[in-house]
C-alpha cells in the first residue's frame, strides 16, 4: 500500500513538473475540470461539463443573468412580447449576430434549431420533453427575416423563458439542402411521426459522434472556438478573430482571455499540486479537504482568491423502481424498502467526514436556496433499527442466518445483494464504502460498481442498474420537473432513470407547468415534493458547496452561487502580469 501511494504521488509530481515553467504573462486561462464532457454536440449531449464549456462557444436567445438571477435578452433585442392569451411570443433578433462564415443569424436558424430539438430522431430524449411540451410552432415574419413568433402548446410557466438553454445552430451549415424545410412542426410533434429514408439519412449524419468530438465541427455563436481535444487530458478553446460580439457592452460578450484550456485532472492530489504550483488558474471542482489545506498556506492565499459557496446542485442515490426482473432484480419496488434505504444512509457522517462540513442536506428535489422548497419535509435520520423493521415488514428477512436478508420472489430465494453504480473517483469510492458498511448492519450487501461517465449515463438512461449514485446540476431558474419526474420521461428513456411517477404525480407536474398563477404553481410544486418524498425514488444526500480558487493575476474574479460559478471569459489579465515573464513559486 505504501508503495502504491508513493508511486501515485511520484507520478503526480512528475506530471506537474513537466509544465512547471509556465509563463504567467500569457493571456491564457487554465480551468480545472475533473472529467471530460460526454460530448459537445449542440443537442445530444447533456453533462454539466458540456454546459460549462458551452458558456463560451455557444449562444442562446435569452439567458439567466448570473448576478441578478433575472432573464435578460442575449441574441434578441428584448425579452419577448406576449399575446393577451399568453400563447404567442414575438421576438426580434439583433442585427449583426454573425456565424463564422459571416452570414447573419436569422429567424430561419431559430426555426431550424427548434425543429432539431423537437424531432424524435435527434438523440436527445433526456431533454426533449422540456421543449415538446411547451413549443407548438415557430412562425416566421414574411416581411422581416429577423422576427418570429413562438406559438405555445398551452399556457405554461416556462413559455417566456423556453429559449434560455436552447443553443442556436446554423441552418445553412447543418442542412444546406433544406431537408427539414419539408417537415412541419405538427409532423414533429405528432404521435404518428413518420421516419422517411431521407430523414433517416439526415439524422444518422447529424447524430454522428464526430459532431460531438471533432473540434472543426464544434461550432457556435460564442466568442471561442474549440481547437483541440485530447481525450482525458484537455480541451482548448481559442478566441475568434473579428468576433461579431467583441464591441458589445454586455459582460457576456467580454472575451478577455486569448485562450481557455479546460484541463482534466481527476485525482485530488494532482489538482492540489497544480494549484500549489500555479499550473491552473481556476477551479470550482477541487476537493474540500485539499482546498481547506491550501487555504492554510500563505503562498496560496498570496496567489489565489478562494471560497466555499452554496450551489443549487444535489447528489442522490437512485433506486430502480421498475426493474426488468431478470437482469435487475426487484429489490426496490416496495416503498418500505426504499424508505429503509433512506434510514440506512449515513448522510450526516458523509458530510462531516468527506466534506468537513462543507455541505448541506435537503429533503426534496428543490434546493433549499429557493423559495419553493418544501420545508415541512423532515430530513430522514440514520436509524438502523427503523430500517430493519421496514425491511422485515416488506418480507426481507435472514432465513438462513448468513447475515444477509433474502426473500422468495416468484419461487426463487433472492439474497439482498445489489450493485451500486457510481462514477469512478476516489471521493465517490470512499462515500460508497461508507454506505456499504452502513447497509450491511441491516443485512444488505451493496456491491460497489465503478464506471466511467459514458457507461454510467448510458446505463442510467437504459434503466440498467439496481442502485446508482448520481447528481444533478441545478440553477436558480425554474427547473421543469418534466425531465426528471414525469412518467413519459421514463418511457422515452429520458432522465427519469428510476421509474418514478403515476397519474397523481404527472398531474401535479402539469398543474405546476400549465399555469401563470404563482399560487397554483407553487402549491403544485410543494405537493410534488411531498409525493417524491413519500415514494422515495431517490435518497437525497447532500448539496456540496462549490469550491472556488481563482488566480489573482486576473481582475474580475467574481464568484457566484449560480452556475457556472465563474465567468471565465471575463477574467482580465492584470497589466503587471502581461508585461512580465513570471515564474511560478515553488510553494516554499
Residue 18: the pLDDT is 42
Last residue within a domain, chosen from 144, 166, 201: 201
Residue 490: pLDDT band by 50, 70, 90 thresholds? very high
Give me the mean pLDDT over the 549-559 stretch: 98
Contact (CB, 8 A) for 290 and 268: yes
Q: Whole-angstrom Cα distance, residue 214 to residue 41?
A: 10
- To which residue does cell 410543494 refer? 526
Last residue within a domain, chosen from 184, 201, 218: 201
Name the residue among 337, 315, 495, 499 with its Cα closest to residue 418.
337
Give me the mean pLDDT over the 558-578 stretch: 95
Cis amide linkage into residue 564, ω under 30° from 0 = yes
369 and 502 co-located in one domain: yes
Count of structural domains, the chain? 2
Give me the mean pLDDT over the 433-448 stretch: 98
3 state SS of 536:
coil
Q: Whole-angstrom Cα distance, residue 261 to residue 238?
A: 9
340 and 489 co-located in one domain: yes
Element (H, E) at 130: helix 125-132
Q: Is the pLDDT of residue 16 over 90?
A: no
Q: Whole-angstrom Cα distance, residue 524 to residue 538?
A: 20
Q: Whole-angstrom Cα distance, residue 284 to residue 548?
A: 5
In whole angstroms, what separates CA 36 from the centre of its chain?
13
pLDDT per residue as tens digits for the range 167-186? 999 999 999 999 999 999 99
Q: Is the pLDDT of residue 378 over 50?
A: yes
Q: Whole-angstrom Cα distance, residue 389 to residue 404?
A: 15
In whole angstroms, what separates CA 202 from the centre of its chain?
28
- Whether residue 222 lies inside any domain: the answer is no
Residue 578: pLDDT band by 50, 70, 90 thresholds? confident
Mean pLDDT of all residues belonging to the chain = 93
Report pTM: 0.87
pLDDT per residue as tens digits for the range 252-294? 999 999 999 999 999 999 999 999 999 999 999 999 999 999 9
Residue 473: the pLDDT is 87
Q: Whole-angstrom Cα distance, residue 442 to residue 459?
A: 27
Residue 582: the pLDDT is 46
342 and 479 co-located in one domain: yes
CATH number (domain holding residue 379): 3.10.105.10
Name the residue among 430, 391, 432, 395 with its Cα closest to residue 410.
395
Name the residue among 55, 53, 73, 54 with its Cα closest to residue 63.
73
What is the CA angle 21-26-278, rounded to 5?
A: 45
- Kindly give, in sequence order, each residue whose CB lies less than 8 Å from that of residue 247, ignoring residues fewer than 6 positions away: none
Residue 579: the pLDDT is 56
Q: Whole-angstrom Cα distance, residue 364 to residue 482?
A: 16
Ramachandran assignment for 278, one of left (phi > 0), alpha (psi -120 to 50 degrees), beta (any other) = left
196 and 318 co-located in one domain: no
- Whether residue 406 lies inside any domain: the answer is yes
Name the residue among 98, 224, 270, 76 with its Cα closest to residue 571.
224
DSSP string, 360-427: E--SSSS-TTSTT--TTSPPPPP-HHHHHHHHHHTT-B-SSSSSS-EEEETTEEEESEEEEEEE--HH
Residue 561: pLDDT band by 50, 70, 90 thresholds? very high
CATH number (domain holding residue 177): 3.90.76.10
Q: Determine the structural domain holding residue 167 and report its residue range.
A: 56-201
pLDDT per residue as tens digits for the range 319-368? 999 999 889 999 999 999 999 999 999 999 999 999 999 999 999 999 99
- Whether residue 389 lies inside any domain: the answer is yes
- Whether residue 183 lies inside any domain: the answer is yes
- Whether residue 367 lies inside any domain: the answer is yes
Last residue within a domain, chosen from 180, 201, 222: 201
Residue 167 exposure: Cα atoms within 13 Å on the Cβ side: 23
Contact (CB, 8 A) for 418 and 317: no
318 and 195 co-located in one domain: no
Contact (CB, 8 A) for 498 and 529: no
Strand 88-92 with 81-82, pairing:
antiparallel
- Whether residue 28 lies inside any domain: the answer is no
pLDDT per residue as tens digits for the range 83-97? 999 999 999 999 999
Residue 21: the pLDDT is 65
Per-residue b or e along 420-459, where b marks 16 or more CB atoms closer than 10 Å to that residue's CB: bbbbbbeebeebbebbeebbeebbbbbebbbeebeebbeb
196 and 322 co-located in one domain: no
- Whether residue 318 lies inside any domain: the answer is yes
Q: Grid coordinates representing 5?
A: 501511494
Long-range contacts of 248-253 (CB under 8 A, 24+ apart): 250/74, 251/567, 251/570, 252/63, 252/74, 252/567, 252/569, 253/223
Q: Is the pLDDT of residue 6 over 50?
A: no
DSSP for residue 241: T
Beta bridge partners of 238: 225, 259
Per-residue b or e along 60-84, where b marks 16 or more CB atoms closer than 10 Å to that residue's CB: bbbbbbbeeeebebbbbeebbebee
186 and 320 co-located in one domain: no
Q: Whole-angstrom Cα distance, residue 126 to residue 140?
A: 28
DSSP string, 307-363: EEE--S-EEEEEE-SS--SSSS--SS-SHHHHHHHHHH--HHHHHHHHHTT-EE--S
- Whether residue 566 lies inside any domain: the answer is no
Give me the mean pLDDT over the 25-54 stretch: 94
Name the residue among 427, 435, 528 with its Cα closest to residue 478.
528
Name the residue among 511, 505, 514 with its Cα closest to residue 484.
505
3 state SS of 134:
coil
Beta bridge partners of 469: 317
First-to-last C-alpha distance (Å) of the chain: 28
197 and 335 co-located in one domain: no
Give me the mean pLDDT over the 142-167 stretch: 97
Amino acid at each position: 500500500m505504501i508503495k502504491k501511494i508513493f508511486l501515485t504521488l511520484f507520478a503526480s509530481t512528475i506530471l506537474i513538473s513537466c509544465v512547471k515553467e509556465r509563463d504567467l504573462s500569457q493571456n491564457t486561462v487554465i480551468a480545472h475540470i475533473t472529467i471530460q464532457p460526454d460530448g459537445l454536440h449542440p443537442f445530444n449531449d447533456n453533462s454539466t461539463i458540456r454546459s460549462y464549456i458551452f458558456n463560451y462557444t455557444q449562444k442562446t436567445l435569452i439567458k439567466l443573468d448570473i448576478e441578478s438571477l433575472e432573464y435578460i435578452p442575449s441574441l434578441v433585442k428584448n425579452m419577448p412580447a406576449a399575446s393577451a392569451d399568453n400563447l404567442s411570443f414575438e421576438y426580434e433578433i439583433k442585427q449583426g449576430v454573425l456565424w463564422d462564415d459571416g452570414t447573419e443569424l436569422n429567424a430561419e436558424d431559430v426555426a431550424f434549431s427548434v425543429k432539431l430539438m423537437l424531432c424524435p430522431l435527434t438523440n436527445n430524449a433526456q431533454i426533449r420533453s422540456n421543449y415538446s411540451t411547451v413549443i407548438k410552432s415557430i412562425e416566421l415574419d414574411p416581411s422581416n427575416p429577423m422576427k418570429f413568433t413562438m406559438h405555445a402548446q398551452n399556457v405554461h410557466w416556462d413559455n417566456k423563458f423556453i429559449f434560455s438553454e436552447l443553443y442556436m445552430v446554423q441552418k445553412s451549415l447543418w442542412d444546406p439542402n433544406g431537408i427539414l424545410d419539408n417537415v412541419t412542426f405538427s409532423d414533429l410533434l405528432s404521435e404518428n411521426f413518420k421516419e422517411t429514408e431521407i430523414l433517416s439519412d439526415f439524422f444518422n449524419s447529424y447524430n454522428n459522434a464526430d459532431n460531438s468530438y471533432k473540434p472543426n465541427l464544434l461550432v457556435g455563436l460564442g466568442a471561442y472556438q474549440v481547437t483541440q481535444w485530447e481525450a482525458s487530458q484537455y480541451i482548448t478553446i481559442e478566441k475568434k478573430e473579428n468576433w461579431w460580439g467583441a464591441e458589445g457592452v454586455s459582460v457576456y460578450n467580454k472575451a478577455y482571455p486569448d485562450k481557455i484550456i479546460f484541463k482534466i485532472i481527476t485525482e485530488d492530489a494532482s489538482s492540489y499540486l497544480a494549484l500549489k504550483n500555479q499550473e491552473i488558474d481556476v477551479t470550482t471542482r477541487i476537493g474540500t479537504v485539499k482546498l481547506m489545506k491550501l487555504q492554510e498556506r500563505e503562498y496560496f492565499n498570496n496567489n489565489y482568491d478562494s471560497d466555499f459557496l452554496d450551489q443549487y446542485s444535489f447528489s442522490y442515490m437512485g433506486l430502480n423502481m421498475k426493474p426488468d426482473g431478470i437482469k435487475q432484480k426487484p429489490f426496490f419496488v416496495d416503498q418500505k424498502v426504499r424508505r429503509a434505504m433512506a434510514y440506512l444512509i449515513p448522510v450526516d457522517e458523509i458530510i462531516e467526514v468527506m466534506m468537513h462540513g462543507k455541505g448541506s442536506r435537503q429533503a426534496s428535489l428543490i434546493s433549499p436556496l429557493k423559495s419553493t422548497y418544501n420545508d415541512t419535509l423532515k430530513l430522514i435520520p440514520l436509524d438502523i433499527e427503523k430500517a430493519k423493521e421496514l425491511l422485515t415488514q416488506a418480507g426481507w428477512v435472514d432465513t438462513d442466518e448468513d447475515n444477509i436478508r433474502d426473500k422468495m420472489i416468484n419461487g426463487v430465494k433472492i439474497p439482498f445483494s445489489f450493485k451500486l453504480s457510481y462514477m469512478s473517483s476516489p471521493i465517490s469510492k470512499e462515500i460508497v464504502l461508507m454506505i456499504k458498511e452502513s447497509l450491511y448492519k441491516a443485512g444488505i450487501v451493496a456491491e460497489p460498481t465503478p464506471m466511467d461517465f459514458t457507461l454510467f449515463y448510458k446505463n442510467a438512461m437504459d434503466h440498467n442498474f439496481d442502485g446508482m449514485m448520481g447528481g444533478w446540476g441545478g440553477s436558480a431558474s425554474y427547473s421543469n420537473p418534466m425531465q426528471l419526474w414525469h412518467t413519459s420521461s421514463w418511457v422515452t428513456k429520458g432522465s427519469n432513470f428510476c421509474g418514478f411517477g403515476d397519474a397523481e404525480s404527472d398531474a401535479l407536474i402539469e398543474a405546476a407547468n400549465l399555469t401563470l398563477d404563482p399560487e397554483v404553481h407553487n402549491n403544485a410544486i410543494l405537493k410534488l415534493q411531498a409525493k417524491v418524498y413519500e415514494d422515495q425514488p431517490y435518497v437525497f444526500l447532500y448539496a456540496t458547496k462549490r469550491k472556488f480558487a481563482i488566480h489573482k493575476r486576473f481582475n474580475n474574479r467574481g464568484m457566484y452561487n449560480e452556475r457556472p460559478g465563474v465567468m471565465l471569459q471575463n477574467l482580465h489579465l492584470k497589466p503587471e502580469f502581461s508585461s512580465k515573464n513570471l515564474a511560478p513559486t515553488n510553494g516554499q
